[in-house]
């Protein structure tokens, strides 16, 4: 019976144990810790470890009375230890069973002394100076498809709607893949296309320098990003495509596709873009837009180019380009990077661009000067076919830790054929222009780090370019210029051929306290050949070569040295620069030769003063000498369109100008009030002007060099955030005034005064949720005053509405109004566009619906004024387009 | 009996003047990418039985001066403890173990304030992983705290339950902390015991006039201000830029708070 009871008790216990689990044993050990004098010790660490004294099971500290209580879940053997500063630690083995245990301890006092300096051997994160490495896995949210999405999730990154990536407020310089740079500033191509799950790490380089040896020495605010790919996911081809097709209009389309393959030795990126909806794909110009900053290391020769004299379709409108760009473009870009070995890398780029463009315009030109007054009427349709192809090869050689060699070679050629049906004062003229261009550039940059903060860069460059043009007119209106010939038609051949060679040594020396000294010494030599001849065809079909011909060689040699010093003291920063230029000009034409070797010294100085956080003042002064270019020196007339002739003839000359600029800013961009004001005064001690003979049937323009012209420019911009309407108000005011002189029909030099004002405002909201707006208006009024006076008053207004229905569905409506106050009729033009996007996240597919020029405005007319008359021109626009599109990855 | 009396006397007279304090220097690294990039700050932890002062220095010279004085502790000089609301150069976080109170001082719009963050609980998970940092045997512990996962190395060899920043309540001094994303990191660089200071550690911030507010109220105010600032910035974007989505993301140490989670649950 007793046994049975025991058994049932045990059974009962077991059930309770099973039901309650470990709670059954949630018993405690408690006790008191005291010193040898029986005084309680407070805040002693009490740690319960397993029997092997390894794993900490539980821990607590003693209270104000030296008492502790520690919970134990399971019976068994434990080690309990008591630790307190200035006491000898004590560890004891205890066997804990199913009851509360009391365990009092006495700790021996012990003089404890710690004096440890911890040297860090292993670091959790790699933080090099100015470099941050982020492991991507930690930031993935699961919704990323492209690198762009990934960057959005990384701390500190901002990705704008157009794909511009910013870190803080600084736009990044480039995005590299495993240290290789395919696209330089055009990294959007990469970030918008590369799949995020290929990326393992993102490295961010701050104060980035394109040349690693210039790091921390040159003045850099650049930021660059490097994507480190996962080792196992690099081999396959991958990419994406987007297609859009016109719904209402026949055969309007846009196709974009990308394909990539990233191997260990070779990396390839192919891209194509086909469209006839007026979009430009960025492929029109050369592959790499060279650094516009000519002060950069290796920038020598970046702006040297040959000139073409005739362009039948050059015009700039106040409209955005896609409205009047009647195109049919096909672009293909092929880029590869080959790693030959650890030190040698070869980058190749190929770009092919085909385009067909159409320009249709009509203009009325009212000439009015003291000597003549007449009106010309013109209507013109130009059809142009274009092809350009270019190939570039970069060779990068890391010679050693302190030496770098970079060799770039680029070859580009293109052909353009323009066919124009012109009607000039009811005379039909058929013009044909055939353009050809070829350019070869070769550049070597060798960089050597002489000391920790001192770098010497040696650059050498060779450029060859030619731009021959063949121009024919089946009817000529300028026959009066050639009384001896009965001219019916004409043709002109012209060609500018340019050879540029240059060498430069550039020393950058970063001093203590961060002052920077830059020294540059170099020699450049540019040789231009210009050949042109105008051939006239008379009534009988005989060809007569006119006197309007050039055959010349213009050589400009330049030996230069400049020194620049940047220093900062307190709230002041000073930049001082001194330029020495020794020129060697030589001009040869039909056996005549002229030479000149002038020396110029021009200083410039800029000072900025930060009065306090909210007030900044800057002042700069500079002096410039500009040498006459080919266009200012060639001898005889060249036809630049159906009736206009141009002649240089200013001789070997230089012009000198000085400028003074004062700037002030109040408040800060990040605060609710921010204002900037700037005034510049430019004095041209001498300048190139014109003497023009104007006749209804032709103009003859001569370049002349005369003295004294002045320009005054001022602008004020104010930003004020209006909290009550969650909107920002922008106020803009600008002012321009220039006085110069020219001559018309061999008159005395006459004063031309240009004055213009522009003022306007913009208001932009930042509401939460569905709706936002952006609106603005701008008035522009200008006056040109000579013997006569012309004026123009225009207004442009816009209203954009934005709707975000949800994260995957948004829409935008844009409207614009252009108003020309000086027209009698058709003063206003209205435009309306819209775009909507719907994204299916799961499938990585986005649908778009785009409407352009919904009001179907067919032509656009603008008015221009000058010192010789007023002109009104109307252009044909891209008609209404409604496009349905789809984007997807493969 | 006599001994005991003597020791009490000794305690009464000497202890308030020459308390025995633990002194730890930490290096705090922040890798959150902003205009400033990653940056390092130095911090000092001074602790006694139930109280710790963790001071972060924005001014490195000031840190160096104190560090130098502590090194030459044999000379008579002692250093000032940063209890007063002396802000701009440094910020002190006081952790009071008795009632689990944390308070910290900083500049809010140029004015000193003290923020209270009381009742903070760390739900430590102890691991059996160990490593040796210098001569200290360290045990690994992990914790999820306010939206980030931290990996912590502490040593039972130094039996206090303090650490850098708000970290506390482990059976030993915390020598290293980093979060799994490696954005925030603390590492002890120097440990000294005992050191002597000229007065006891203050249990609360004292000194100049300052406003005291709870962390929750402070954050609410900050968030309102931030949202307004963000709107201001967005409204200054140029024409043509579209705002598809704008979120005010918290990239700080603390991402979520207990009370926010509670509110989420209620919803």
β partners of residue A337:
A267, A347
CB contact under 8 A, B159 and A85: yes
Position A272 scores a pLDDT of 87
Q: Please give the backbone phi and psi of residue A120, each rounded to the nearest 5 degrees, phi first.
A: -80, 120
Position B16 scores a pLDDT of 39
Position B231 scores a pLDDT of 79
Q: Nearest Cβ partner of A167 from B29, B33, B233?
A: B33
Average pLDDT, chain A: 85
Residues A85 and A6 in one domain: yes
CATH number of the domain at B18-214, please? Answer: 2.50.20
Position B18 scores a pLDDT of 47
CB contact under 8 A, A762 and B32: no
Cβ distance A585 to A556 under 8 Å?
A: yes
Position A685 scores a pLDDT of 94
Nearest CA in chain B to A63: B98
Token pair recorded at residue A859: 């032509």
Q: Nearest Cβ partner of A721 from B187, B232, B239?
A: B232
Given a cut of 70, whether residue A530 has pLDDT beyond it is: yes
> Is the CB of residue A774 less than 8 Å away from at least one CB of chain B?
yes
Query: What helix, strand, coil percent values describe chain A, rounded to 5?
Result: 10, 65, 30
CB contact under 8 A, B239 and A726: no
> Is the CB of residue A503 less than 8 Å away from at least one CB of chain B?
no
Q: Give the C-alpha separation, B15 to B24, whole Å.
A: 21
Q: Give the C-alpha separation, B143 to B140, whole Å.
A: 10
Q: Give the pLDDT band of residue A292 (cuts 50, 70, 90).
A: very low
Q: Give residue-wise pLDDT tens across range B105-143.
A: 888 777 888 899 998 899 999 988 888 888 888 999 999
Q: Please give the backbone phi and psi of residue A673, each rounded to the nearest 5 degrees, phi first.
A: -125, 130
CB contact under 8 A, B31 and A670: no
Interface test with A, best of B147, B235, B250, B252 (most A CBs within 10 A): B235
Position B267 scores a pLDDT of 56
| A32 compared with A145, residue with greater pLDDT | A32
Q: Give the pLDDT band of residue A2 (cuts 50, 70, 90).
A: very low
Position A169 scores a pLDDT of 58
Compute the nearest-CA separation of B235 from chain A (Å): 5
> Is the CB of residue A624 less than 8 Å away from at least one CB of chain B?
no
Q: Give the pLDDT band of residue A4 (cuts 50, 70, 90).
A: very low
Q: Nearest Cβ partner of A56 from B126, B189, B192?
A: B126
3-class DSSP state of A652: coil
Given a cut of 50, whether residue B208 has pLDDT beyond it is: yes
CB contact under 8 A, A85 and B160: yes
> Could you tell me the end-to-end alpha-carbon distance of chain A, in angstroms, rounded to an integer?
80
Position B88 scores a pLDDT of 67
Q: Give the C-alpha separation, B253 to B251, whole Å.
A: 7
Nearest CA in chain B to A170: B35
Q: Give residue-wise pLDDT tens across range A631-649.
A: 999 989 999 999 999 999 8
Could you tell me which of A814, A776, A782, A811 has the C-alpha nearest to residue A796?
A776
Could you tell me which of A557, A559, A556 has the C-alpha nearest to residue A520?
A559
Using the 3D structure, point to which of A175, A209, A234 is the last residue of a domain. Answer: A234
A724 occurs within a structural domain: no
Position A737 scores a pLDDT of 96
Region B138-159: mean pLDDT is: 91
Q: Give the pLDDT band of residue A569 (cuts 50, 70, 90).
A: confident
| A576 compared with B13, residue with greater pLDDT | A576
Cβ distance A785 to A766 under 8 Å?
A: no
CB contact under 8 A, A83 and B156: yes
Interface test with B, best of A34, A114, A796, A831 (most B CBs within 10 A): A114
Interface test with B, best of A49, A52, A83, A124 (most B CBs within 10 A): A124
Q: Give the pLDDT band of residue A583 (cuts 50, 70, 90).
A: very high
Own/partner contacts of B86-90, CB < 8 Å, gap of 24 or more, are B86/B207, B86/B208, B87/B112, B88/B58, B88/B59, B89/B57, B89/B58, B89/B59, B89/B62, B90/B55, B90/B56, B90/B57, B90/B58, B90/B59, B90/B62, B90/B63
Least confident of A91-105, A129-143, A745-759: A129-143
Could you tell me which of A686, A701, A703 has the C-alpha nearest to residue A632?
A703
CB contact under 8 A, A43 and B232: no
Position B17 scores a pLDDT of 42
Contacts of A825 by beta carbon, 8 Å cutoff, 6+ apart: none
> Is the CB of residue A516 less than 8 Å away from at least one CB of chain B?
no
Q: Nearest Cβ partner of B4 from A37, A115, A723?
A: A37
Position A24 scores a pLDDT of 47
Which residues in chain A have their CB less than 8 angstroms from residue B35's CB?
167-170
Position A382 scores a pLDDT of 94
Burial class, A15, CB count within 10 angstroms (exposed 0-12 / middle 13-18 / buried 19+): exposed
> Is the CB of residue A824 less than 8 Å away from at least one CB of chain B?
no
Position A285 scores a pLDDT of 44
DSSP state of B166: T
Q: Give the C-alpha separation, A399 to A24, whole Å.
A: 74
Given a cut of 80, whether residue B80 has pLDDT beyond it is: no
Residues A214 and A142 in one domain: yes
Region A446-455: mean pLDDT is: 92
Which residues in chain A have their CB less than 8 angstroms from residue B229's CB?
670
Q: Give residue-wise pLDDT tens across range A391-423.
A: 999 999 999 989 999 999 999 999 999 999 999
Position B13 scores a pLDDT of 42
Q: Give residue-wise pLDDT tens across range A76-110.
A: 888 899 988 888 888 888 888 777 788 888 988 88
Q: Give residue-wise pLDDT tens across range A534-566.
A: 999 988 888 999 999 999 999 999 999 999 999
| A295 compared with A65, residue with greater pLDDT | A65
Position A170 scores a pLDDT of 65
CATH of the domain at A189: 2.170.130.10
CB contact under 8 A, B243 and A772: yes
A119 occurs within a structural domain: no
Position B8 scores a pLDDT of 47
Instruction: Report the share of chain A in percent with pLDDT over 90.
Output: 49
| Number of domains, chain A | 2
Q: Is the bond preceding A796 in cis, omega lying within 30 degrees of 0?
A: no
Compute the nearest-CA separation of B215 from chain A (Å): 23
Q: Give the C-alpha separation, A830 to A797, whole Å.
A: 10
Q: Write down the residue that tokens 């209580």 correspond to.
A: A69
Q: Please give the backbone phi and psi of residue A440, each rounded to the nearest 5 degrees, phi first.
A: -125, 130
Output the CA angle B178-A208-A517, nearest 5 degrees.
125
> Is the CB of residue A39 less than 8 Å away from at least one CB of chain B?
yes
Q: Give the pLDDT band of residue A134 (cuts 50, 70, 90).
A: low
Cβ distance A837 to A307 under 8 Å?
A: no
Given a cut of 90, whether residue A203 has pLDDT beyond it is: no
Compute the nearest-CA separation of B216 from chain A (Å): 23
Instruction: Report the share of chain B in percent with pLDDT over 90.
Output: 21
Position A794 scores a pLDDT of 94
Average pLDDT, chain B: 77
CB contact under 8 A, A83 and B171: yes
Q: Give the pLDDT band of residue A881 (cuts 50, 70, 90).
A: very high
Position A826 scores a pLDDT of 83
Position A145 scores a pLDDT of 61
Q: Write down the residue that tokens 């900053």 correspond to.
A: A293
Region B154-158: mean pLDDT is: 91
CATH of the domain at A95: 2.60.40.10
Position B244 scores a pLDDT of 53
CB contact under 8 A, B244 and A130: no
Q: Nearest Cβ partner of A118 from B139, B183, B189?
A: B189
Nearest CA in chain A to B97: A43
Interface test with A, best of B164, B171, B180, B246 (most A CBs within 10 A): B171
Q: Give residue-wise pLDDT tens across range A237-284.
A: 877 788 889 988 778 998 888 787 877 788 888 888 888 988 776 554
| A227 compared with A735, residue with greater pLDDT | A735
Position A190 scores a pLDDT of 73
Which residues in chain A have their CB less than 8 angstroms from residue B128's CB?
54-55
Q: Give the C-alpha separation, A341 to A344, whole Å.
A: 5
Which residues in chain A have their CB less than 8 angstroms from residue B135's CB?
116
Q: Give the pLDDT band of residue B238 (cuts 50, 70, 90).
A: low
Using the 3D structure, point to which of A58, A91, A107 is the last residue of a domain. Answer: A107
> Is the CB of residue A85 less than 8 Å away from at least one CB of chain B?
yes
CB contact under 8 A, B190 and A118: yes
CB contact under 8 A, B20 and A85: yes
> Is the CB of residue A612 less than 8 Å away from at least one CB of chain B?
no
Burial class, A590, CB count within 10 angstroms (exposed 0-12 / middle 13-18 / buried 19+): exposed
Could you tell me which of A273, A271, A232, A240 has the C-alpha nearest to residue A256?
A273
Which residues in chain B have their CB less than 8 angstroms from residue A676's CB?
none
Full DSSP string of B27-50: EEEE---STT-SEEEEEEEEEETT
Domain interval for residue A210? 131-234
Which residue blocks in A737-849 are alpha helix, DSSP H? none
Region B183-198: mean pLDDT is: 84
Cβ distance A744 to A368 under 8 Å?
A: no
Instruction: Report the share of chain A in percent with pLDDT over 70.
Output: 88
Q: How far is CA A340 from CA A343, A398, A702, in A?
A: 8, 12, 56
Using the 3D structure, point to which of A219, A234, A249 is the last residue of a domain. Answer: A234
Task: Tally A–B CB contacts below 8 A.
Answer: 181
Q: Give residue-wise pLDDT tens across range A692-712.
A: 999 999 999 999 999 999 999
Q: Give the pLDDT band of residue A743 (cuts 50, 70, 90).
A: very high
Highest-confidence segment of A861-870, B4-13, B199-208: A861-870
Position A193 scores a pLDDT of 64
Position A19 scores a pLDDT of 47
Which residues in chain A have their CB less than 8 angstroms from residue B6's CB?
none
Could you tell me which of A644, A572, A637 has the C-alpha nearest to residue A608?
A572
Position B246 scores a pLDDT of 52
Which residues in chain B have their CB less than 8 angstroms from residue A134's CB?
31, 33, 181-182
CB contact under 8 A, A116 and B239: no
Cβ distance A446 to A405 under 8 Å?
A: yes
> Is the CB of residue A42 less than 8 Å away from at least one CB of chain B?
yes
A47 occurs within a structural domain: yes
């Amino acid at each position: 019976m007793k046994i049975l009871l025991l058994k049932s008790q045990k059974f009962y216990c077991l059930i309770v144990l099973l039901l309650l689990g470990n709670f059954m044993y949630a018993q405690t050990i408690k006790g008191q810790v005291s010193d040898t004098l029986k005084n309680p010790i407070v805040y002693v660490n009490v740690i319960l470890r397993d029997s092997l004294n390894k794993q900490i099971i539980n821990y607590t500290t003693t209270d104000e009375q030296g008492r502790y209580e520690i919970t134990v879940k399971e019976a068994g053997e434990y080690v309990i230890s008591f630790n307190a500063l200035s006491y000898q630690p004590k560890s004891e083995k205890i066997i804990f069973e199913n009851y509360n245990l009391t365990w009092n301890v006495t700790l021996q006092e012990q003089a404890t002394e710690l004096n440890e300096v911890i040297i860090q051997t292993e670091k959790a994160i790699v933080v090099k100076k100015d470099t941050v490495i982020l492991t991507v896995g930690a930031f993935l949210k699961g919704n990323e498809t492209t690198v762009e999405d990934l960057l959005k999730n990384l701390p500190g990154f901002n990705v704008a709607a157009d794909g511009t990536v910013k870190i803080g407020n600084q736009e990044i310089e480039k995005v590299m893949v495993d240290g290789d740079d395919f696209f330089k500033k055009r990294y959007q191509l990469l970030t918008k296309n590369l799949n995020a799950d290929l990326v393992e790490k993102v490295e961010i380089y701050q104060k980035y320098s394109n040349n690693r040896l210039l790091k921390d020495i040159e003045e850099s605010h650049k930021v660059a990003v490097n994507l480190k790919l996962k080792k196992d996911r690099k081999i396959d081809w991958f990419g994406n495509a987007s297609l859009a097709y016109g719904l209402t209009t026949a055969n309007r389309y846009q196709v974009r596709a990308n394909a990539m393959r990233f191997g260990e030795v070779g990396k390839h990126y192919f891209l194509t873009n086909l469209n006839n909806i007026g979009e430009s794909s960025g492929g029109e110009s050369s592959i790499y837009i060279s650094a516009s900053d000519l002060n950069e290391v290796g920038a020598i020769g970046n702006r040297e180019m040959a000139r073409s004299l005739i362009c039948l379709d050059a015009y700039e409108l106040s409209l955005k380009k896609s409205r009047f760009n009647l195109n049919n473009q096909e672009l293909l870009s092929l880029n590869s990077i080959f790693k030959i070995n650890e030190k040698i890398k070869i980058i190749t780029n190929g770009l092919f661009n085909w385009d067909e463009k159409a320009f249709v315009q009509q203009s009325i030109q009212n000439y009015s000067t003291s000597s003549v007054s007449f009106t010309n009427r013109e209507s013109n349709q130009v059809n142009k076919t274009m092809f350009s192809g270019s190939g570039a090869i970069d060779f990068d050689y890391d010679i050693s830790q302190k030496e770098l060699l970079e060799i770039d070679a680029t070859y580009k050629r293109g052909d353009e054929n323009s066919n124009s049906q012109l009607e000039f004062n009811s005379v039909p003229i058929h013009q044909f222009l055939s353009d050809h261009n070829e350019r070869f550039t070769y550049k070597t940059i060798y960089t050597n780090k002489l000391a920790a903060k001192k770098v010497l860069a040696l650059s050498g460059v060779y450029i060859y370019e030619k731009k021959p043009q063949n121009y024919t007119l089946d009817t000529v209106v300028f026959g009066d210029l050639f009384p001896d010939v009965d001219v019916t038609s004409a043709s002109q051949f012209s060609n500018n051929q340019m050879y540029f060679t240059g060498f430069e040594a550039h020393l950058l020396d970063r001093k203590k306290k961060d002052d920077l000294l830059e020294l540059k010494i170099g020699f450049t030599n540019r040789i231009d050949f210009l050949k042109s001849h105008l051939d006239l065809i008379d009534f009988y079909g005989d060809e007569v070569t006119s006197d309007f011909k050039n055959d010349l060689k213009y050589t400009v040699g330049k030996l230069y040295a400049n020194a620049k010093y940047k220093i900062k003291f307190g709230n002041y920063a000073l930049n001082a620069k001194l330029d020495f230029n020794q020129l060697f000009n030589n001009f040869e034409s039909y056996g005549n030769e002229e030479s000149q070797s002038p020396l110029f010294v021009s200083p410039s100085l800029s000072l900025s003063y930060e009065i306090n956080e909210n007030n900044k003042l800057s002042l700069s002064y500079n002096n410039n000498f500009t040498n006459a270019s080919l266009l200012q020196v060639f001898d005889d007339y060249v036809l630049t369109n159906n009736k206009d002739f141009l002649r240089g003839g200013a001789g070997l000359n230089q012009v000198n100008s000085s400028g003074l600029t004062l700037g002030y800013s109040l408040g800060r961009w990040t605060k609710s009030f921010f204002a900037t004001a700037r005034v510049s005064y430019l004095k041209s001690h001498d300048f190139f002007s014109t003497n023009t003979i104007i006749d209804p049937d032709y103009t003859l323009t001569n370049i002349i060099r005369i003295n004294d012209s002045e320009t005054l420019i001022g602008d004020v911009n104010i930003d004020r955030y209006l909290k009550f309407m969650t909107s920002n108000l922008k106020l803009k005011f600008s002012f321009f005034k220039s006085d110069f002189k020219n001559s018309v029909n061999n008159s005395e030099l006459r004063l031309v005064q240009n004055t213009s004002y522009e003022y306007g405002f913009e208001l932009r909201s930042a509401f939460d949720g569905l709706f936002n707006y952006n609106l603005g208006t701008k008035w522009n009024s200008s006056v040109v005053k000579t013997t006569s006076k012309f004026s123009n008053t225009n207004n442009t207004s816009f209203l954009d509405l934005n709707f975000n229905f949800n994260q995957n569905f948004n829409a935008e409506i844009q409207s614009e109004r252009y108003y020309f106050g000086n027209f009698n009729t058709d003063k206003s033009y209205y435009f309306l566009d819209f775009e909507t996007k719907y994204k299916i996240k799961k499938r990585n597919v986005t649908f778009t619906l785009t409407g352009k020029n919904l009001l179907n405005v067919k032509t656009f007319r603008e008015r221009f004024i000058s010192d010789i008359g007023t002109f009104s021109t109307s252009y044909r626009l891209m008609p209404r387009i409604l496009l349905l599109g789809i984007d997807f990855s493969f | 009996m006599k001994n005991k009396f003597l020791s009490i006397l000794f305690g009464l007279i000497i202890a308030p003047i020459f308390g025995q304090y633990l002194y730890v220097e930490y290096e705090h690294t922040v890798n959150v990418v902003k205009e400033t990039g990653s940056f390092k700050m130095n911090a000092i932890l001074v602790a006694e039985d139930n109280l710790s002062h963790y001071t972060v220095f924005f001014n490195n010279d000031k840190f160096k001066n104190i560090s130098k004085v502590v090194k030459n502790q044999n000379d008579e000089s002692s250093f000032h403890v940063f209890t007063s609301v002396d802000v701009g150069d440094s910020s002190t976080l006081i952790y009071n173990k008795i009632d689990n109170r944390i308070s910290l001082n900083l500049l809010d719009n140029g004015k000193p304030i003290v923020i209270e963050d009381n009742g903070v609980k760390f739900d430590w998970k102890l691991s059996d992983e160990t490593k040796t940092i210098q001569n200290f045997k360290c045990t690994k512990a992990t914790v999820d705290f306010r939206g980030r996962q931290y990996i912590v190395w502490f040593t039972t060899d130094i039996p206090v339950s303090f650490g850098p920043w708000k970290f506390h309540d482990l059976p030993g001094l915390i020598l290293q902390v980093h979060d799994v994303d490696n954005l925030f990191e603390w590492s002890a660089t120097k440990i000294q015991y005992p050191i002597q200071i000229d007065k006891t550690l203050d249990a609360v911030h004292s000194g100049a006039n300052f406003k005291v507010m709870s962390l929750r109220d402070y954050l609410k105010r900050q968030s309102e201000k931030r949202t307004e600032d963000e709107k201001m910035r967005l409204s200054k974007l140029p024409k043509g830029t579209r705002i598809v989505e704008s979120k005010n993301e918290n990239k700080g140490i603390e991402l979520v708070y207990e009370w926010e989670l509670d509110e989420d649950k209620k919803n």
